[in-house]
Amino acid sequence: MGSRLGLNSPIARVAAIATFLEGPALLAETHPVANIFKPLSAPAEAIHEISILALLICTAIFVVVGGLLAYAVVRFRSRPGDDTSEPPQVYGSVQLEMAWTAIPILVVVVLVVATLRTTAAIQNAPLPPDALQVRVVGHQWWWEIEYPGLGIVTANELHVPVSARDRRRPTAIHLESADVIHSFWVPQMAGKTDLIPSRTNRMWLEPYQTGTFLGNCAEYCGTQHAKMMLRVVVDTPEEFDRWVAAQKAAPVESPAAQQGRDVFLQTSCVNCHRIQGTSANGVFGPDLSRLMTRQTLAAGAAANTPENLRRWLRDPATIKPGCLMPNMRLTPTEVEQIATYLETLR
């Protein structure tokens, strides 16, 4: 908490950027607690405002009605010394009924008007024509992320630029699904929107703070729904440009990885995975062309460390039981060779 508040100071901001320059492993700052009441992006901010209104109204009702209930329960309880006579029999009151019909109606009118305004403001918000366009496709149990205008395909981590007051950089996201229904939810960025097969949904983000923001698939989608996690990495404009350039750069051939590359291309890895510049062109699994630029493996199931990468290659089920990548029964040598090769994909 303290460090996040610290980022608001310009010095901390510069320090964070400086850290980033030293190595991509320490990207700005991670926000692991996705509190919907701490929005850091335009649509989430608008939702936050109406949420506070609804929360205040509901709290007020709770205090008043709950208080009356508590008062009635205490005040009108029968006491040991009471006589056995019945209390006055009251059957109703037209005035009271009218009053407690009118009050809920007024509350509902206020909430409805506020809801209609915010709903339309978010759903019909005009985005500038140069807004970044991203296509996100849900798969069991990972996210395919494509930047059609930039020719980039990646997975599970959405990089977007940060917006400033004088320079809006919103991102329009087109949501699709390759199999079942998923839901894109990064609470500090925006409300959730479902990814539904044979349908395209739209949502948008306009973050105003850099960092990594965590989210989850929010619609139950099968065995590994729990480990279908999602990250939005909000970069400064310069960072973002650098990230784009790195994703688009021609792959570097490393002689040390030649053996692993051959093993990879000769096993059925290629049926599901794509690696740019090779014959691996599968589309069922995530694109691995820049695997090392990602923070996690298997949609957030494990940190992207050399050790986890090898564990994953040996038997994916030890990290994500039930996932669709089979145990390829690789020998320890093959695991080491392929891991060495994958580690060159940056």
Partner 1 sequence: MATTPSRTPAPAASEPFSLPTWLHGWVTTADHKRLGVMYILAGLGFFVVSGTMAALIRIQLVVPNNQFLPPEMFNRLFTMHGTAMVFLVGMPIIAGLMNYLVPLMIGARDMAFPRLNAFGFWIFLFGGCLLYFSYLAAPGLSGAGSAPDVGWFAYSPLTGKAFSRGHSTDYWILSILISGIGSLCSAVNVIVTVVCMRCRGMTLMRMPLFVWIVLVVAYLIVIVLPPLTAAQIMLLLDRFLGAKFFDTQAGGSAVLWQHFFWIFGHPEVYILILPGFAVASEIIPVFSRKPIFGYAVMVGATVMIGFISLGVWAHHMFTIGMSAMSNAFFATSTMLVGIPTGIKLFNWLGTMWGGKIRFRTPMLFCVAFLFQFLCAGLTGIMLAVAPFDWQLSDSYFVVAHFHYVLIGGLLFTIFGAIYYWFPKVTGRLMSERLGRWHFWLFALGFNLTFAPLHIAGILGMPRRIYTYDAGRGWEIWNLVATIGVAFQALGILFFVANLLWSSRRGARAGDDPWDAWTLEWSTTSPPPPYNFETLPTVRSRRPLWDLKHPSDPDWRVE
d(CA 246, CA 313): 25
Q: Which H or E element spans position 66?
A: helix 42-75
Which of 12, 111, 265, 324 lies at the binding interface for partner 1 (CB under 8 A)?
A: 111
Which of 54, 265 has the CB closer to partner 1?
Answer: 54
Distance of closest approach, residue 130 Cβ to partner 1, in angstroms:
24
Buried-exposed string 173-194: b where 16+ CB fall within 10 A, e elsewhere: bbbbbeebebbbbbbbbbbbbb
Taking Cα atoms as reference points, which of 33, 34, 14, 20 lies closest to residue 235? Answer: 20
d(CA 327, CA 93): 73
Site string for partner 1, 131-170 (x = CB under 8 A): ---------x------------------------------
Q: Does residue 45 touch partner 1 according to CB under 8 A?
A: no
Which of 14, 116, 249, 252 lies at the binding interface for partner 1 (CB under 8 A)?
A: 116
Whether omega for the bond prior to residue 141 falls within 30 degrees of 0, making it cis, is yes
Q: Does residue 80 touch partner 1 according to CB under 8 A?
A: no
Scanning 126-134, 153-161, 173-181, 245-253 for contacts with partner 1 by CB under 8 A, the matching segment is 173-181
Q: Does residue 88 touch partner 1 according to CB under 8 A?
A: yes
Q: Does residue 95 touch partner 1 according to CB under 8 A?
A: no
Backbone angles phi, psi at 226, to 5 degrees: -65, -35
Residues sharing a CB contact under 8 Å with residue 206, sequence separation 6 or more, in sequence order: 41, 42, 43, 163, 168, 169, 170, 171
Which of 79, 167 has the CB closer to partner 1?
Answer: 79
Say how far residue 18 (Cα) sits from the centre of its chain: 26
Q: Does residue 284 touch partner 1 according to CB under 8 A?
A: no
Angle subtended at Cα 192 by Cα 133 and Cα 170, rounded to the nearest 5 degrees: 30
Q: Does residue 55 touch partner 1 according to CB under 8 A?
A: yes
Scanning 81-89, 127-135, 274-282, 332-340 for contacts with partner 1 by CB under 8 A, the matching segment is 81-89
Q: Does residue 223 touch partner 1 according to CB under 8 A?
A: yes
Query: How big is the site for partner 1, counted in residues (CB under 8 A)?
Result: 91
Q: Does residue 63 touch partner 1 according to CB under 8 A?
A: no
d(CA 218, CA 225): 8
Which of 9, 25, 100, 130 lies at the binding interface for partner 1 (CB under 8 A)?
A: 100
Q: Could you tell me whether strands 171-177 and 132-139 are parallel, antiparallel, or unpaired per DSSP bridges? A: parallel
Cα–Cα separations (whole angstroms), residue 179 to 199, 219, 222, 317: 12, 13, 11, 21
Distance of closest approach, residue 306 Cβ to partner 1, in angstroms:
20
Distance of closest approach, residue 48 Cβ to partner 1, in angstroms:
9
Scanning 60-68, 165-173, 307-315, 338-346 for contacts with partner 1 by CB under 8 A, the matching segment is 60-68
Which of 8, 124, 129, 165 lies at the binding interface for partner 1 (CB under 8 A)?
A: 124
- What do you get for the CA distance between the two ends of the chain, in Å? 32
SS3 163: coil
Point out which residues pair with 85 in neighbouring strands: none
Which of 10, 80 has the CB closer to partner 1?
Answer: 80
Distance of closest approach, residue 5 Cβ to partner 1, in angstroms:
16
Which of 157, 219 has the CB closer to partner 1?
Answer: 219
Scanning 65-73, 254-262, 286-294, 333-341 for contacts with partner 1 by CB under 8 A, the matching segment is 65-73
Report the site for partner 1 in 289-328 (rule: CB under 8 A). Answer: 300, 321-322
Report the site for partner 1 in 190-219 (rule: CB under 8 A). Answer: 190-194, 196-199, 201-202, 214-219
Residue 282: CB atoms within 10 Å: 16
Q: Does residue 26 touch partner 1 according to CB under 8 A?
A: no
Distance of closest approach, residue 31 Cβ to partner 1, in angstroms:
10
SS3 302: strand
Taking Cα atoms as reference points, which of 247, 292, 274 lies closest to residue 150? Answer: 247
